Amino acid sequence: MKKLNPMTTMQPQLLELFRAACEARERSYSPYSGHKVGAAIRMSDGSIFTGCNVENSSYGGTICAERVAVQKAVSEGHLAVKEVMVVTASTPPWPPCGMCRQVVAEFASPGETVRLHTSNLQGEHESFDFEELFPRAFTPGHLLKQK
């Protein structure tokens, strides 16, 4: 895990995602866990969508920042995720949960490697290919395969 100042060491496109995720994180509705999470996703066409975690007193109604961002993108007609940034205040930064990983896998840009970035407000940052985090994901392609 690299300790860095994101404002001076991130490449411009990654810094753009980091800033967008930080801004979304500030809108988090997290009265139960107290943990704010922000996400920003870049689609294959370059558009960016953001999300924050939105908790619910029934807990099962809670939705993670990553899924909010993907659902916003899909609702606007964008179906191909190319890059994901997740920002927390936690050390180390949190990766997406299993359900978020599955949703990203569903909308991963076909034929492209999806990059995942985790960062925190203290400057720790990590980047890797999505497949490293979620190898052999169940995807829509599995449903198309014949028996």
Per-residue pLDDT tens over the stretch 87-113: 999 999 999 999 999 999 999 998 899
Catalytic residue among 55, 66, 83, 124: 66
- CATH at 65: 3.40.140.10
Does 23 participate in catalysis according to the annotation?
Answer: no
The answer to whether position 145 is within a domain reads no
- SS3 call for 118: strand
* Boundaries of domain holding 38: 12-131
Higher pLDDT, 46 or 9: 46
Query: CA 105 → CA 33, 84, 133, distances in Å?
Result: 26, 11, 11
120 near 93, Cβ under 8 Å? yes
67 near 103, Cβ under 8 Å? yes
The answer to whether position 98 is within a domain reads yes
Number of domains into which the chain is organized: 1
The answer to whether position 44 is within a domain reads yes
Confirm whether pTM is higher than 0.85: yes
The answer to whether position 127 is within a domain reads yes
